[in-house]
Amino acid sequence: MNSPNNFTEAFVPTREAGLKRLKEFAPLAGEIYSNKRNFDFSSVRKNSVSALSPWIKHRLITEEEVLIEILKHHNPHSAMKFIQEVFWRGYFKGWLEQHPTVWSHHNEKLIKEYVKLENNKFIKENYMSAVNGETGIECFDFWCKQLKSTGYLHNHVRMWFASIWVFTLKLPMELGADFFMLNLIDADAASNTLSWRWVSGLHTKGKAYAARASNIEKFTDGQFNPSGQLIEDIEPLTENINHPFVPLVDLEKFKDEDAILLVTEEDCSPETSMNEDNLEVEIVPLYRKKKFPEWIEPLDTVRSFSNTAVQNSAQRLGCKNLKPVKDSNWTEIILDASDKLGTKNIITPKIPVGAVKSEFRKIKKVLAEHDIYINEHYRDYDKYTWQYASKGFFKLKKQIPNILNQLGLS
């Protein structure tokens, strides 16, 4: 049941590589994807998924570009399964944007869970067995090692993995989500956090996802069958906190004057959303700022992929200073660029809820003291999509034909 694609295993963090992968996958986005997308054969080359997420996450290629290429080969009906998956990413981003306390609460609880690890030998031993792929559950251990060696997992595997982590291994959901953030090259605050919450029963209240041995056996084509090893009769997690709805903020259009364009890992193709002819580009490499417990080693390729993606973007935009500054002070970089270029017009594509936005929130307070403000800009895709992401996915799903029309794709 192998897929007839010709993908290479490597994920190269450049726009060129992303566009190449997109063109390779586009002919397969109809019936082949619809029928075989849930099967995992432990190899990108053999699977029928697009494996575009590392490039889309960093917007080395954009969702709109993906939809354009897919619709060159298929009509919306025949490729709707794949199109819906593209919009799931937009849904999660828009939902988290309108419920930002989910992210802040998640990180507050994450810190507490790491402290518990330090103080509870039993929990720490179970945790270390899980992250080292030594639980004795063959499929889980295999996926753990695959994740740490490649930085990637099939989406169906991610669901199984999260369910086993939470309900069979009884480990804190926040630690599992962070394990993915540390090791996935496509780790995205919205998609990752809300997917783990969905599996656990927190996103759709009272509805959790159970990893079942029969399902794993079927969709790994018999490679794994953890019969008798999984807890399949599960109780959804609960939380005693309400996350208020926060309306989307209207953003002003950029001033038509000299500006500094900040490039972050959240959008590495800013040239596809604005006229950058008169813009000076200052590269701002992103590194996660929190300190990890000493026994946790983030995958080098995660940091490298994001850093190189930003470099690739800056190079295309004509930036001369391409060398990333490790753990750099973003405030100083922006102030220095503003002084050298003689402008206080700082612009960047919209920064969604996540680590970059959290860092920018700190930066903006200091910049304001110098009468410098960062002006953000919505992409059309986000503007059209996020407004329907305030509740469940079905609301957005119904609007997909209208959004495609607004984007000129139908």
Q: Are the beta carbons of 390 and 98 closer than 8 angstroms?
A: yes
Q: What CATH number does residue 74 fall under?
A: 1.25.40
Of all residues in the chain, what percent are helix, strand and coil, respectively (each to 5)? Answer: 50, 5, 45
Q: Which tens digit of pLDDT belongs to each residue from 48-67? A: 899 999 999 999 999 999 99
In a domain, 137, yes or no: yes
User: Please, which pLDDT band fits residue 6 given cuts at 50, 70 and 90?
Assistant: very low
Share above pLDDT 70 across residues of the chain, in percent, rounded to a whole number: 88
Instruction: Compute the Cα dihedral for 75, 78, 82, 83 and give only its sign.
Output: positive
Which pTM value belongs to this model? 0.93
Answer yes or no: do 105 and 92 share one domain: no
Question: Using the 8-state DSSP alphabet, how is residue 164 labeled?
Answer: I
- Judgement on whether residues 155 and 207 belong to the same structural domain of the protein: yes
pLDDT at 3 over 60: no
Q: CB under 8 Å, gap of 24 or more: what pairs does 303-306 form?
A: 304/13, 305/11, 305/13, 305/54, 305/58, 305/151, 305/185, 306/13, 306/58, 306/185, 306/265
For residue 399, give its domain range.
15-98+385-406
pLDDT in tens, 86-111: 999 999 999 999 999 999 999 999 99
Torsion of CA 51, 57, 61, 67, to 10 degrees: 70
Residue that the structure tokens 């609007």 belong to = 399
Q: Are residues 112 and 155 in the same domain?
A: yes
Same domain, yes or no: 334 and 346: yes
* Region 196-206 average pLDDT: 96
Per-residue pLDDT band for 35 (boundaries 50, 70, 90) equals: very high
Three-state DSSP class for 261? strand
Residue 231 has pLDDT above 80, yes or no: yes
Asked if the model's pLDDT at residue 203 lies above 90, the reply is: yes
> How many angstroms separate the CA atoms of 94 and 384, rounded?
10
pLDDT at 277 over 60: no
Please state the domain count of the chain: 3
- Kindly tell me if the per-residue pLDDT of 2 is higher than 90: no
Is the distance from CB of 139 to CB of 169 less than 8 angstroms?
no
Strand boundaries in 156-286, DSSP class E: 259-263, 279-283
For residues 83 and 157, membership in a common domain is answered with: no
